[in-house]
A = this chain, B = another copy of it.
């Protein structure tokens, strides 16, 4: 069978799908795209068994066929062609031939029966209850940008290796934590009849951050999977089938001392202090008393130290408290669009809450960081 397609259009489509192709896998079949041609629609799929991506393009052909094609080779060839018409010819002997004005290229394909099955949403044949909701793409993107950095990388705690989507009466809440820091963001505009929690794994989050745009995205949720339907691409991912830790019990409510400062001032000072903090502990010390914050760090291994004063407003008890400077830096990197922030503290051993100084009527954002012990 034959069809033709513009190389630039196909490249655009493959660029979106290829993030789901694993670079290293014990299952070589996953290194392929699935090409499904049905009623004049070419749908291309890729999956690493956790996430799958699919997108379609209209072609002119009478026949229906499914084949699997080496993903990286096809992608590299199409990208190298410039803007031209590519004639695809799928022959019966396992060869896929591509012809342009200047050249002819031949690739091997395999039968599609070996390719893993990919769930489809919504599936009319299933009786399972599907939850569904439509969200502005930028709202979802902003929430994931703010929260996803705090996800755990430790396989010992699988639930924390994803971001929690918690649908409730007050809105859609996003939570991520690795036990050292936690981000909790509630978008009050996104209300639904849904009352449920879903944990979306890291790989899906990182692909979503690349493909989300200002258009709406439609979410379908089953017990095991979540589908994100964008304008021209669909991402389906397995959910992490674990109970998310009770994050609410970690958040202190009565931290009465408030330290207010300019986000950028503190961020710049922390970046310098990271250079002087011992490489294994990365510890930085905040010495706070009446309207004065001194930040200091020392690296005993190399005999270096630094201290700085940061302008602030503070009216609580004097306090010396230690943090992992890399975690403080991570948090501040995700708050740089806020001019001023407030650290809410209680004691050198209790979790510290960081919130924006200016409230947003639609978004509740809260970050939390655990202090580390000072050696004196």
Contact = CB atoms under 8 A, between A and B. Distances in A.
B275 A305 contact: no
Given A80-B271, A82-B268, A268-B82, A103 B308 contact: yes
Interface string A102-114: 1111111000000
A306 B272 contact: no
A276 interface: yes
Contacts of A82: 268
Interface in A70-118: 70, 73, 76-77, 80-82, 94-95, 102-108
Given A73-B275, A271-B80, A304 B107 contact: yes
A285 to B, nearest CB: 14
A56 to B, nearest CB: 25
B73 A309 contact: no
Oligomer copy total? 2
Interface in A256-314: 268-269, 271-272, 275-276, 302-310
Contacts of A103: 269, 272, 306-309
B77 A275 contact: yes
Interface string A3-40: 00000000000000000000000000000000000000
Contacts of A107: 303-304
A82 B265 CA distance: 12
A164 to B, nearest CB: 35
Given A82-B268, A268-B82, A275-B80, A302 B102 contact: no
A110 to B, nearest CB: 10
A131 to B, nearest CB: 43
Contacts of A302: 70, 73, 108
Contact of A108 (B95, B108, B303, B308): B303
A87 to B, nearest CB: 14
Contacts of A94: 303
Given A70-B302, A73-B304, A108-B302, A102 B269 contact: yes
Given A70-B302, A73-B304, A302-B73, A105 B276 contact: yes
Given A70-B302, A73-B304, A108-B302, A309 B271 contact: no
A137 to B, nearest CB: 34
Contacts of A268: 80, 82
B275 A102 contact: no
Nearest to A98: B306
Given A103-B269, A269-B103, A275 B76 contact: yes
Contacts of A104: 306-308
Contacts of A95: 303
A14 to B, nearest CB: 14
Interface of A: 70, 73, 76-77, 80-82, 94-95, 102-108, 268-269, 271-272, 275-276, 302-310
Given A70-B302, A102-B309, A108-B302, 14 more contacts: A77-B272, A81-B272, A102-B310, A103-B269, A103-B306, A103-B307, A103-B308, A103-B309, A104-B307, A105-B304, A105-B305, A106-B306, A107-B303, A108-B303
